[in-house]
């Protein structure tokens, strides 16, 4: 089974990620990872940080001569902005920097300092930052590469930003929002095509693939809601308008609709897996909201940290990564082996 860990602060020296459980002999190059990182950095509405960073992952272990070894894969993404933060984010004792004491509504600031007994909000915001998703996209791009080997493709699209669906109108809305010192959220959709029937299980709550996907998407910073297929719309409709009728064509079971979003009973049914996620507006506003100063215990304007106006396009790429990891894990659970060749034999045998 696959599992991964990431580490690193937003303005620290680097982000690091370790992936365990990837099979041997999967073709993998740094370019496979870096093209996904480049996609994550794009999108209209991104802030000044993306003009500084040129995210590139280096493979430190687990790959030799362009193929995975079956051992843990380690990646590192250096933060180019680190040179401007060496004093503020120093590791050595005895260093000091001006503390951040004004909490931002909607961020982990206040809950975080309470939980971890901190007096400087920077000790919270550095790791709570969405910068962590760069490491997640990097590591999950390997899972995406595995799925590609078996013809499983993952794409995404923007359903709307701030309620607007037209791309030019979205840009205009983002520009207006930037001028107002505000932020925008939106909805993105991830589609996984050519998924085999039978990934996941209804046997136990924690093996239901829809549950795993929902948790993975909800772990993306600023995501506040997840739908699979018709999602919340199903609550408004009669069952006759929701459930995908089943037919037989050329000896195969087929459906002419996909309201279930490719999952029934926590198991893939052969239709494309469709997931939508709602992203709230980013918590850091250039025109700050009312808050408190935790040092003075007095009213204050929220802290302003360099941020984006909208990052829905970037979040969609992170959503692809989240989906890739969970689908790859379920795929290996059903067809897994220690090498790419072994998986191909098992998949072929299951299709006879």
Q: Is the pLDDT of residue 305 over 90?
A: no
CATH number, position 168: 3.60.150.10
Separation between Cα atoms, residue 163 and residue 243, nearest integer Å: 28
- Structure confidence at residue 45 as a pLDDT band (50, 70, 90): confident
Question: Number of structural domains, the chain?
Answer: 1
Q: Is the pLDDT of residue 352 over 80?
A: no
DSSP label at residue 152: -
Q: What are the pLDDT digits (tens) for 312-323?
A: 999 999 999 999
Give pLDDT, residue 319.
98
Domain range for residue 71?
3-93+102-350
Q: What are the pLDDT digits (tens) for 60-119?
A: 999 999 999 999 999 999 999 999 999 999 999 987 889 999 999 999 999 999 999 999
Give pLDDT, residue 54.
86
- For CA atoms 116, 50, 57, 315, give the dihedral sign: positive
Q: What are the pLDDT digits (tens) for 198-233?
A: 999 999 999 999 999 999 999 999 999 999 999 999
Judging by beta carbons within 10 Å of its beta carbon (0-12, 13-18, 19+), is residue 50 exposed, middle or buried?
middle
Judging by beta carbons within 10 Å of its beta carbon (0-12, 13-18, 19+), is residue 106 exposed, middle or buried?
middle
Separation between Cα atoms, residue 166 and residue 168, nearest integer Å: 6
- Structure confidence at residue 52 as a pLDDT band (50, 70, 90): low
Give pLDDT, residue 282.
93
Q: How much of the chain, in percent, has pLDDT values that exceed 70?
A: 98
Q: What are the pLDDT digits (tens) for 157-173?
A: 999 999 999 999 999 99
- Structure confidence at residue 48 as a pLDDT band (50, 70, 90): low
Q: Quick one: average pLDDT of 45-54? A: 70
Q: Quick one: average pLDDT of 253-282? A: 97
Give pLDDT, residue 49.
59
Does the pTM of the predicted model rise above 0.85? yes
Q: How much of the chain, in percent, has pLDDT values that exceed 90?
A: 91
Separation between Cα atoms, residue 328 and residue 331, nearest integer Å: 5
Confirm if 174 and 246 have CB atoms less than 8 A apart: no
């Amino acid at each position: 089974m696959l599992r991964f860990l990431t580490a690193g602060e937003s303005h620290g020296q680097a982000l690091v990620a370790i992936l365990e459980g990837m099979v041997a002999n999967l073709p993998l190059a740094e370019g496979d990872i870096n093209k996904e990182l480049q996609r994550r950095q794009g999108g209209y509405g991104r802030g000044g940080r993306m003009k500084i960073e040129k995210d590139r992952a280096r493979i430190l272990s687990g790959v030799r001569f362009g193929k995975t070894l079956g051992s843990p894969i380690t990646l590192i993404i250096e933060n180019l902005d680190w040179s401007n933060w060496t004093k503020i984010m120093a590791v050595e004792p005895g260093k000091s920097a001006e503390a951040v004491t004004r909490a931002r509504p909607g961020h982990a600031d206040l809950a975080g300092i309470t939980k971890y007994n901190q007096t400087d909000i920077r000790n919270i915001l550095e790791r709570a930052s969405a910068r962590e998703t760069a490491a997640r996209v990097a590591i999950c791009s390997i899972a995406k590469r595995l799925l590609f080997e078996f013809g499983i493709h993952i794409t995404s699209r923007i359903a709307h930003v701030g309620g607007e669906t037209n791309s030019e109108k979205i840009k205009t809305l983002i520009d207006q929002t930037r001028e107002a010192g505000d932020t925008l959220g939106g909805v993105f959709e991830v589609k996984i095509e050519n998924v085999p029937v039978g990934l996941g299980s209804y046997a136990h709550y924690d093996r239901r693939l829809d549950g795993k996907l929902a948790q993975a998407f909800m772990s993306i910073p600023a995501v506040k809601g997840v739908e699979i297929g018709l999602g919340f719309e199903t609550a408004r409709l009669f069952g006759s308008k929701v459930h995908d009728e089943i037919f037989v064509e050329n000896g195969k079971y087929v459906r002419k609709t996909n309201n279930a979003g490719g999952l029934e009973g926590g198991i893939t049914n052969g239709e494309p897996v469709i997931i939508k996620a709602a992203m709230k507006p980013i918590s850091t506003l250039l025109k700050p909201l009312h808050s408190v100063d935790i040092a003075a215990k007095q009213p204050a304007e929220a802290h302003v940290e360099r941020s984006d106006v909208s990052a829905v396009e970037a979040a969609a790429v992170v959503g692809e990564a989240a989906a890739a990891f969970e689908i790859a894990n379920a795929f290996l659970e059903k067809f897994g082996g220690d090498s790419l060749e072994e998986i191909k034999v098992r998949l072929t045998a299951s299709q006879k």
